[in-house]
Structure 1
Amino acid sequence: MRAPTPSYAHPARLILILSLAPTVGLGIGRFAYSLVLPDMRDSLAWSYSAAGFMNTINAAGYLVGALFASRLIQRFGLATSVRWSTLVCVLSLALSAISGNFVMLSFARLLIGLAAAIGFVGGGALAASIAQSRPDRANFLLSLFYAGPGVGILASGLIAPFVLQGFGAGSWWIVWWAMTLLSVVMTVPLLLAPFHADAVAGGIVRTKFAVTPVLIYLTSYFLFGAGYIAYMTFMIAYVRDGGGGAAAQSAFWSLIGVSAFVTPWVWRRVLALDRGGLATTIILGVNALGAALPIFGHSPLLLAISALVFGVAFFAVVGSTTAFVRLNYPPEAWPTAIAAMTIAFGIGQTLGPIVVGAITDAIGNLSVALNVSAAMLVLGAVLSAFQRKVGP
């Protein structure tokens, strides 16, 4: 028997506030690194492998966070877990600004990843619960949560390139301070939001999760994790290598973020498809197309289309997995199921950056590595088409 769904007076507003958790943890905590990576690599004399390792260690933290998320949520409740994990992300951003020491920066990236995963799993389950209070609009409401990282990407894209341009080479640490202050402002509404008592106090029951029925889907999500992260890690370097200055880098990154705002409207009917992995196949296929476009050159128009196509699908792929969980599992199993999806995703994005960085170091050409990234996304899209509904 399913537990009754809590009633929320303003579900859209609450989910938008809740989306500030992935805004800070992912949109800023993870992805802003790509904006400062070229300056950090030059200033700190890093190879592409070292640069990729920073996102690998971040992804490793994300994986660990996903592994323990359901236990922490069971003990402390959804809302409490989301709030504290977001505060840890803010602290980690400040640590990133303090020192250029490789070990210190690695620890900060690890901590951001760990906290972001807990916030994402808890936030996703809480957003699904809030969305369920309006069944006729549930998929649209759920999409609002996954637009959160786009806000962080847009905000950091409008700030970081111009801070780097204004303060000159070696000013990467100033960018991290700017990102910290931005995150502090965004965390305040999350701390004050009136979430349901059950979500604050706990009431989450850990359930067993069978891998076999969704093994194909988990493999597809693994490939998405490995493929997307290479694009998001190295595309700013690709734009800069093609002669793009601060304005071009900001425009490219901001277009990815802007595309998140149309995601709920573009994909709401696709997300409602209760047909196994079909929704993920459609959305991931579009994501792969966006990732593949830079193969054809550095044209500003081509790169702009790539950013928009990649972005509008990128945020929806993650949303499609939560929609899959919501349509195939009872509410009490959502945190465990979302955590399982996040683990598969985390393993993929842990391996992706350092592998792509090593390929780039060996070949000396980012284009080849980005081709590998796009190929993994295509394979993930094909695989998810074979996922059927779970249960009777």
Structure 2
Amino acid sequence: MNGLGVAFLLSLGTVVSNSFARFAYALMLPAMRNDLGWNWSQAGWLNTANAFGYLAGALLARALVDRVGNRALFVAGMPATALALLATGLVDDLFALSALRALAGVAGAMVFVCGGALAGNVFPDDPRRATLAITVFFGGSGVGLVLCGAGIPLLLELAGDAGWRQAWLAMGAASLAMTVAAIAAARAIVEPAAIGARRSAHGAAPAAAVISASGPAPVCASVRAPAWRPRDLAPALLAYTGFGLGYIGYMTFVIAWMRERGASTSDVILVWSLLGIATLVAPWLWKRPFADWRGGPVIALVMTVLAAGAGLPLLASGLPAMLASAALFGAGMFSTPSAVSTLIRKQLPKPAWGGAMAVFTIVFAVGQIVGPTVTGWLADLYGSLRPGLALSVVVLLVGALVALWQRDMTRGSRG
């Protein structure tokens, strides 16, 4: 199997851990809420539980990797995520569903974090192709969004609200099949820590980190990082907290918003599929700003695009407005973490990347934990999703403004 084939099969990990285990819930939320008689807070809580799990999984991966390695955590995380998805279709108790969503978050984070590290070593001696392999790996998230958008709404159309169980079972079964292929790919890749140790022995610094497609993922390679001051990146950290809070509100409730306003199954398919396609196109749209800009403006610009996408449904809920919303939101959703990655790579020395990305992971996860529950609570309080979705837009815009205060630390020091 050639290197790109390995990267493609490895990217099935992001389909399972990201598209299935995290974002697909938005497509099933209206049906689950109707079938199980939930209020909006309960519906939002399931994504909060998943976000708690994601944070725990990322921290667990970082704590365990020195002992067991990236490959072992990836291999353990894939079947655990798949089984959690499968089991979600077999229960209807809120506590059990919450536990399974949290488990999917824990295992999915290990897949996502350590899969990114493995992807960076598909071509260990070719930086250009290594970047391509990482792009292919994280591109699996966009492909997975398209798959969910094409399949889940049709299944629910045929089976009714109770069909959410079949949807989880189908994703679980597909994930088990993808697990076999992704694990085979992982076993074909040299362990990143071993690569780093060899390069360090020859005086070259190993790569310190990789940014994930939905939040910075600390690479699970052991690197001793120098001290760096979080206050120097405080505006970016605050902005990124706002990103975590703002984007997850949209990604949890946008389909429910559409359904409440009479959107058809074909409308949902088109909107969600375009969202996935936009995430795949986004890296090429942002290539020039990421290469040429320094400091916080690039984060501010991406978050402004994201806020525009999140705000459009509040102005008009027809299909043209929702398609424009999906295109803008997709262009910004996975590009915000990339903008943060660009900032860290340009502002800090390479050995500090891992520690900085760990801090960004934590603040992102905190926002992601708070967002769904707050949005649902506001919906229950006011009898509408509008206040919560509006809050998401405001938080994203405030985050964009705060990011503008991020200074370029390289000016006058490293040039």
TM-score higher than 0.5: yes
SS at match of 2:89: helix
| Residues matched between the structures, number | 384
Q: Aligned pair in 2 of structure 1 residues 274, 131: CA closer, same or farther (>3 Å)?
A: farther
Gaps of 5+ in 2: 198-220
Question: Is 1:172 paired with 2:191?
Answer: no
Measured after TM superposition, the shift of residue 383 of structure 1 is 1.9
CA distance 1:201–1:142, change in 2 (3 Å): closer
Superposed displacement of residue 13, structure 1: 4.6
Q: Distance in 2 between matches of 1:145 and 1:321?
A: 18
Matched, 1:40 2:32: yes
Structure 1 stretch displaced more, 66-75 or 333-342: 333-342
Match of 2:81 among 89, 93, 106: 89
Q: Does the 8 A contact of 1:121 with 1:342 survive in 2?
A: no
* Correspondence for 2:247: 228
- Answering whether residue 294 of structure 2 is matched by residue 294 of structure 1, we say no
Residue 324 (structure 1) aligns with: 343
In the TM superposition, 1:220-299 aligns within 5 A as 220-273=239-292, 275-299=294-318
Does the C-alpha gap of structure 1 residues 16 and 316 become closer, same or farther in structure 2, counting only changes over 3 Å?
farther
Aligned residues of 2:19 and 2:144 also touching (Cα < 8 A): yes
Structure 1 position 237, deviation (Å): 0.5
Contact 1:71–1:206 (Cα < 8 Å) also in 2: no
Deviation at 1:83? 2.9
**d(CA) in 2 for partners of 1:102, 1:264:** 38
CA contact (8 A) 1:73 1:202 kept: no
- Give aligned-pair identity as a percent: 35
Is the CA contact (8 Å cut-off) linking 1:221 and 1:380 kept in structure 2? yes
Describe the superposition over 1:126-156 as per-residue Cα deviations: whole angstroms up to 9, x where unpaired: 4455688544577665444432221221111
2:113 to 111, 115, 121: 121
Indicate how the Cα distance of structure 1 residues 361 and 283 shifts in structure 2: closer, same or farther if over 3 A, else same.
same
> Partners in 1 of 2:131 and 2:195 — Cα distance?
26
**Residue in structure 2 matching 1:315, options 325, 334, 353:** 334
Matched residue, 1:5: none
Cα shift at 1:252 = 1.4
8 Å contact kept, 1:214–1:390: no
Aligned residues of 2:306 and 2:333 also touching (Cα < 8 A): yes
Residue 158 of structure 1: aligned partner: 150
Letter aligned with residue 99 of structure 1:
V
Q: 1:124 and 1:335 mapped to 2: Cα distance? A: 13
CA distance in 1, matches of 2:165, 2:349: 45
Q: Which residue number corresponds to residue 189 of structure 2?
A: 195
1:24 aligns with 2:16: yes
Looking at structure 1, the residues matched to 157 and 101 of structure 2 have their Cα atoms a distance apart, in angstroms, of: 24
TM-score (norm 2): 0.85
Contact preservation (8 Å) 2:48, 2:371? yes
Please tell me whether residue 370 in structure 1 is matched to residue 364 in structure 2: no
* Pair 1:62-2:54 in alignment: yes
- Pick from 45, 50, 54: which aligns with 1:53? 45
Please give the TM-score of this superposition, normalised by the length of structure 1: 0.89
> Is the contact between residue 271 and residue 279 of structure 1 (CA under 8 Å) also seen in structure 2?
yes
1:245-296 deviations in Å (ceiling 9; x for gaps): 2221122111111112212221222232461333322222211111111111
Give, in angstroms, the shift of residue 361 of structure 1.
Answer: 0.7
Contact 1:139-1:271 at 8 Å conserved across structures:
no
Q: Which of 101, 113, 123 lines up with 2:93 in the alignment?
A: 101
Instruction: Determine the C-alpha separation between the residues in 2 that align with 1:121 and 1:385.
Output: 28
Q: Which residue of 1 aligns with 2:367?
A: 348
Q: How big is the shift at 1:233?
A: 0.5
Amino acid at match of 1:93: L
Higher relative contact order (CA 8 A, sep 6+): 1
Q: Which moved more, 1:350-359 or 1:240-249?
A: 240-249
CA distance in 2, matches of 1:201, 1:80: 16
**C-alpha distance in 2, partners of 1:142/1:329?**
21
Backbone CA RMSD of aligned residues: 2.6
Structure 1 residue 112, shift from structure 2 partner: 1.2
Distance 2:380 2:364 in 1: 25
* Cα displacement (A) at 1:200: 7.3
